[in-house]
């Protein structure tokens, strides 16, 4: 009888364990589904963008200055959210913003002089922030310009997003105005820029003069980027604007096609 009781209890215990395991699996699946569920409407996507460092700033600038493109972005990101969740929204958002920057690079070079010159100060602030939070990201920004990517510290993503928002404002100003693209910097502008670079940091000046920044280690690439933009910001507005327009034309992030659409 006692043995039968033990066997019965064992059977019931086994059944309870199996039932508990199945219930736990179901619960975990439900939780995973809830966590993976992405924004399902454009309103959801807009709220998601408003809370995402790096995408928040350019999304706000698009909404104000390019409402048609903003609606297109919301539609594309809503589809990505339904298919791949929040990660899909983030990746598709980065892809969209990168493509927009490539498409508007020429318009930026037609912005008013004062705005282009101020952009040099914005780039300087970006580089200094990235130096403090992620020196490798600072090095990448030196070589290709501000490009959003996953895995950045929130402070770095916000700094990049702020500059991208500034560039959207500048692109609209360039399209609204009747100005041609700024001419390439003349010999006097380039000489003044080189002199300022050398005065700020001789080591970075040597790297830049010998076109060796690309092969330098990340910390020196970062340092060179800071020096480069500080020198432009220190120049008179006309020279600074001409140099910024030239850099915007030449930055790989602006002149190369966007990368393939992200997948998960």
pLDDT exceeds 80 at position 8? no
Helix ranges restricted to H, the chain:
2-36, 42-50, 56-65, 67-108, 113-133, 135-144, 154-176, 187-200, 202-209, 218-234, 237-250, 252-255
**CB proximity list for 142: less than 8 A, separation 6 or greater:** 127, 213, 221, 222, 224, 225, 228
Please name which of 215, 219, 220, 184 lies closest in space to residue 205, comparing C-alpha atoms: 220
Has residue 102 got a pLDDT over 60? yes
Q: Is 108 helix (H, G, I), strand (E, B) or coil?
A: helix
pLDDT at 11 over 60: no
For residues 152 and 160, the answer to whether their CB atoms sit within 8 Å is yes
Mean pLDDT, range 212-237, rounded to an integer = 96
Q: Which residue has the higher pLDDT, 8 or 213?
A: 213
Region 149-164: mean pLDDT is: 94
pLDDT value at 257 more than 50: no
Distances in whole angstroms, Cα of residue 72 to Cα of each of 54, 79, 107? 19, 11, 20
């Amino acid at each position: 009888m006692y043995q039968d009781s033990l066997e019965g209890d064992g059977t019931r215990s086994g059944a309870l364990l199996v039932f508990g395991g199945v219930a736990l699996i179901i619960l975990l699946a439900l939780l995973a589904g809830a966590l993976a569920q992405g924004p399902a409407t454009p309103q959801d996507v807009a709220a998601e963008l408003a809370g995402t460092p790096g995408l928040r700033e350019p999304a706000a600038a698009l909404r104000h200055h390019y409402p048609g493109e903003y609606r297109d972005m919301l539609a594309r990101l809503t589809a990505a959210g339904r298919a791949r969740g929040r990660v899909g929204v983030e990746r598709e958002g980065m892809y969209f913003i990168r493509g927009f920057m490539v498409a508007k690079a020429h318009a930026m070079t037609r912005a008013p002089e004062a705005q282009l010159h101020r952009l040099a100060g914005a780039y300087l602030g970006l580089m200094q922030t990235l130096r403090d939070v992620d020196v490798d990201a600072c090095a990448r920004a030196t070589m290709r310009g501000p490009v959003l990517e996953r895995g950045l510290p929130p402070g770095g993503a916000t700094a990049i997003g702020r500059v991208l928002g500034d560039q959207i404002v500048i692109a609209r100003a360039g399209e609204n105005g009747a100005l041609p693209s700024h001419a390439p910097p003349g010999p006097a502008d380039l000489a003044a820029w080189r002199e300022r670079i050398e005065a700020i940091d001789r080591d970075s000046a040597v790297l830049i003069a010998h076109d060796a920044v690309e092969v330098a280690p990340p910390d020196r690439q970062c340092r060179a980027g800071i020096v480069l933009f500080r020198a432009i910001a220190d120049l008179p507005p006309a020279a600074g604007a001409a140099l910024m327009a030239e850099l915007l034309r030449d930055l790989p992030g602006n002149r190369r096609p966007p990368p393939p659409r992200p997948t998960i």
